[in-house]
A and B are shown apart, each in its own frame.
Chain A
Amino acid sequence: MDRTRDKVLPVLAILAGLVVVWYVGAMLLNAPFQRDLDRRAGETRGTVEFIGKTLSQPKPTLPAPHQVAANFFENTFLRKITSNQSLVFHAWITLSSTLLGFVFGTALGIAIAVGIVHFTSLDRSLMPWLIASQTIPILAIAPMVIVVFAAIGVTGIIPKSLISTYLSFFPVAVGMVKGLRSPELTHLDLMHTYNASPAQTLWKLRVPASMPFLFASMKVAVAASLVGAIVAELPTGAVAGIGAKLLSASYYSQTIDMWSALVAGSIVAGLLVTLVGWIGRLVDRSMGARPA
């Protein structure tokens, strides 16, 4: 009961507040256009009717929540998932390249972290560039990566997932460096007294100790990976995916479609983060971690 009062209630209240703000915003933003329409049609409406009209335009400046919800429901559940109107179809395209990029990125990040922990020269020379690499707005060159790969005949999922890889390796690398270095000196000394080789120390001490760090950074990485996949779909007229849906909707000013694509992207992001967190808890438990 306490939990409900302390945690759920405030969140629900804020969300309800957001919906109210959204409705008011929709009314205010759509009102000028509606007034224009009415003037041209020579109609005069009562306040309530006018407000109703602002919330049911076909191409509003800001669609009302119920319009987005209806569109989302229609495009998710009522269409065949093979049709290119279906959000499930687009979400799947984006999700597949997100996951591929995420797997590559995580593997690359772990490899870099293992290298950095084991070679001093790599630590001193690579680490600064790792940080610098993230100041490059890689999303900005996503279009070029796609174009270049298309030029040498590689299209489809690989170039898109490369963008995701680039965005997701960094959090994993940084988190894993921290994690692999997290064992205490006494534990490392103990491994030393056992005459353990570096590989044995890595597998039996460093890797188990790094698991919480790995999953914390994988949560960040999977979200970044999704952003990468969506942006990679924007340029060069990608035909499918949430990013392509956003772009085509913005060309035809189908605002409701745009918002429901955004909602779909957010739901995918939420699911991915939850899934990673859930696997993390599972791994933690199977390795005998006690809740702190």
Chain B
Amino acid sequence: MRWFAPSWQALLAVVLCIGAGLLGVMSLPEATALAQPAASIAYPWAASKSLIFDAILISAAFSMMRVPPAVAALALFAGAHLAAWLLLSGIAGFEGTALAPFYLLMAAAWLLAWRCVTILSGLKPTHRLAKTLVGLLIPVIFGAWLLIIWEGVVRGAGIPFILLPPPSAIGARIATSVPILAADVRQTIFKAVIAGYAIGCGAGFLTAILADRVSFLRRGLLPIGNMVSALPIIGVAPIMVMWFGFDWQSKAAVVSIMTFFPMLVNTVTGLAESGHMERDLMRTYASSYWQTLFKLRLPAAAPFIFNALKINATLALIGAIVAEFFGTPVVGMGFRISTEVGRMNIDMVWAEIAVAALIGSVFYGIIALIERVVTFWHPSLR
């Protein structure tokens, strides 16, 4: 048995496949077609059924031979995704008619993808590019399977569209309503979030410097800042809408209040981070307060400041969108979400969420990149 290297995921996938084969009928129309052989009834997977079984069984069997791990991973990747694609494309037009074998095959394909990810994470590529590629591929496969399972369950079980639309419908909605989405993003992100984020972070930073100079202020502000960061600040949204009106200014106000305190607390903590030795060294150089601040203490505080910037990136989005629930001109992501929920256009809501998540991730990613460049000296990045 030197050529055989079993893995429980692949074995279980084979078992599920056999189970699906024994159960046989994969959908309700197929059962009808079998009952009335004379009538020509169209049913899903009429042509592709054997191909699905083949894809899963062959790739599972192949992955358990003693082949190089990269080859096994490639075979699993191809088999799992071919089977998933056939399963999903086959059910089009027959939503809600799938029977147990459909889910068994889906689960088998998912197990193969899991095995593929396990093999990939065991790989230790020496080349840098290959390493980055594998590091990206693993989470991408995971994310893709979240969507595949979502799509499969929603369409296989025929879950009503207004409860949970399949990802493909959301994607189609994004593609058809780009202008609306762009207008909402312009209103919410480019006007409210960016302005509020800049004001809140800037004010928090300056207050922290001030608190650093005046130690009485620091001792008073720090406990209050810590306490405030636990408060549901989002609740000031209706008040801000009342003060600053329906347009983006009120949302920017909410965002700046929400981002102020994390920035303040983190910067004050960060400014205390530089060691006594370094500060003494600066004193022997006869450097002024500002020289010490810019050349030693701010760089030492940079990881904390970036931490606050990252926390604030997500807070800012949430603040602006929730503030729009309390009143807004007829454009904006929060406005769109709350009105389209009322009109039961759930796919539009999900489209907005997808866009918001994408922007949030990009926002976070940009800050993380800047952090990499600025704090290249920090142990966690070296």
**Do A and B originate from a single complex?**
yes
Contact between B337 and A143, CB atoms less than 8 A apart: yes
Q: Which residue of A lies closest to B9 (CB)?
A: A121
Q: How far is the CA of A74 from the CA of B219 in the complex (A)?
A: 34
Q: How far is the CA of A138 from the CA of B315 in the complex (A)?
A: 11
Contact between A234 and B325, CB atoms less than 8 A apart: yes
Contact between B220 and A124, CB atoms less than 8 A apart: no
Proximity string of chain A (110-140) to chain B, C-beta cutoff 8 Å, 1 when within and 0 when not? 0000000000110111111101101111111
- Whether a CB of chain A sits under 8 angstroms from the CB of B236 is yes
Contact between A262 and B353, CB atoms less than 8 A apart: no
Residues of A bordering B, CB below 8 Å: 6-7, 10-15, 29, 61-62, 120-121, 123-129, 131-132, 134-141, 143-144, 147-148, 151-152, 219, 223, 226-227, 230-231, 234-235, 242-243, 246-247, 249-250, 253, 255, 258-259, 261-262, 265-266, 269-270, 273
Q: How far is the CA of A219 from the CA of B230 in the complex (A)?
A: 9
Residues of B within 8 A of A127 (CB): 139
Residues of A within 8 A of B114 (CB): 121
Residues of A within 8 A of B164 (CB): 148
Restricting to B326-371, which residues have a CB under 8 Å from any CB of A? 326, 333-334, 337-338, 341, 346, 349, 352-353, 356-357, 360-361, 363-364
Which of the residues A138, A151, A223, A247 comes within 8 Å of B162, measured between beta carbons?
A151
Contact between A137 and B341, CB atoms less than 8 A apart: no
Q: Which residue of A lies closest to B322 (CB)?
A: A139
Contact between A144 and B232, CB atoms less than 8 A apart: no
Which of the residues A62, A136, A234 comes within 8 Å of B353, measured between beta carbons?
A136
Contact between B231 and A125, CB atoms less than 8 A apart: no
Contact between A250 and B241, CB atoms less than 8 A apart: yes
Residues of A within 8 A of B375 (CB): none
**Distance between A238 CB and nearest chain B CB, rounded to angstroms:** 12
Proximity string of chain B (212-224) to chain A, C-beta cutoff 8 Å, 1 when within and 0 when not? 0000111111011
Q: How far is the CA of A133 from the CA of B326 in the complex (A)?
A: 25
Residues of B within 8 A of A259 (CB): 239
Contact between B221 and A14, CB atoms less than 8 A apart: yes
Contact between B220 and A125, CB atoms less than 8 A apart: no
Contact between B219 and A11, CB atoms less than 8 A apart: yes
Contact between B314 and A134, CB atoms less than 8 A apart: yes
Q: Which residue of A lies closest to B164 (CB)?
A: A148
Contact between A270 and B334, CB atoms less than 8 A apart: no
Contact between B141 and A269, CB atoms less than 8 A apart: no
**Distance between A187 CB and nearest chain B CB, rounded to angstroms:** 22
Proximity string of chain B (197-240) to chain A, C-beta cutoff 8 Å, 1 when within and 0 when not? 00000000000000000001111110110010111101110110
**Distance between A108 CB and nearest chain B CB, rounded to angstroms:** 16
Evaluate whether A143 and B341 lie within 8 angstroms (CB atoms) in the complex, with A14-B217, A136-B357 already known.
Answer: yes
Contact between A250 and B326, CB atoms less than 8 A apart: yes
Q: How far is the CA of A148 from the CA of B350 in the complex (A)?
A: 12
Contact between A265 and B357, CB atoms less than 8 A apart: no
Residues of A within 8 A of B149 (CB): none
Evaluate whether A11 and B357 lie within 8 angstroms (CB atoms) in the complex, with A129-B139, A139-B322 already known.
Answer: no
**Distance between B340 CB and nearest chain A CB, rounded to angstroms:** 9
Evaluate whether A247 and B360 lie within 8 angstroms (CB atoms) in the complex, with A124-B117, A269-B232 already known.
Answer: no
Contact between B121 and A226, CB atoms less than 8 A apart: no
Q: Which residue of B lies closest to A128 (CB)?
A: B139
Q: Which residue of B lies closest to A127 (CB)?
A: B139
Contact between A261 and B235, CB atoms less than 8 A apart: yes
Evaluate whether A11 and B220 lie within 8 angstroms (CB atoms) in the complex, with A135-B314, A270-B227 already known.
Answer: yes
Residues of A within 8 A of B120 (CB): 121, 124
- Whether a CB of chain A sits under 8 angstroms from the CB of B122 is yes
Contact between A7 and B322, CB atoms less than 8 A apart: no
